[in-house]
Amino acid sequence: MNVFELPSELPDEEIFESLIPDQGVLIERIISTGQATPEGVWYNQDRDEWVVLLQGTATIMWHDGRKQDLLAGDSIFFSANERHRVDKTSVNPPCIWLAVHGKLR
């Protein structure tokens, strides 16, 4: 598999692809094409998450109002139950994320 290879037609919704079966740690590729977390919705995951943006640009927002713009190559770590959301993702190029979920600390 080439993580940069995209489907010939991208759907309107994000694509989540597990790269390694989840046996306590989930590694997945996410493809975003302009999607954002709906207003008022916050991710509040039971596991830590480390994510790297491989392609595109995105903005992450925390429940306390902080924001961080991400460029290709930037990574971020979310502790379990750290409320956050994706504020925006680029369309051209699409965002390609590599995410690792688990007990990482």
**Predicted local distance difference test score (pLDDT) of residue 26:** 97
Q: Which of 78, 16, 84 is nearest to 48 (CA)?
A: 78
pLDDT, tens only, 45-55: 999 999 999 99
Which of the 8 DSSP states describes residue 34? S
pLDDT on residue 81:
97
Q: Which domains does the chain have, with CATH numbers?
A: 15-102 (2.60.120.10)
Say how far apart CA 10 and CA 37 lie, in whole Å. 18
Q: What percent of the chain has pLDDT over 70?
A: 100
pLDDT band at 65 (very low <50, low <70, confident <90, very high): very high
Please give the pLDDT value at position 58.
Answer: 98
The confidence score (pLDDT) of residue 62 equals: 98
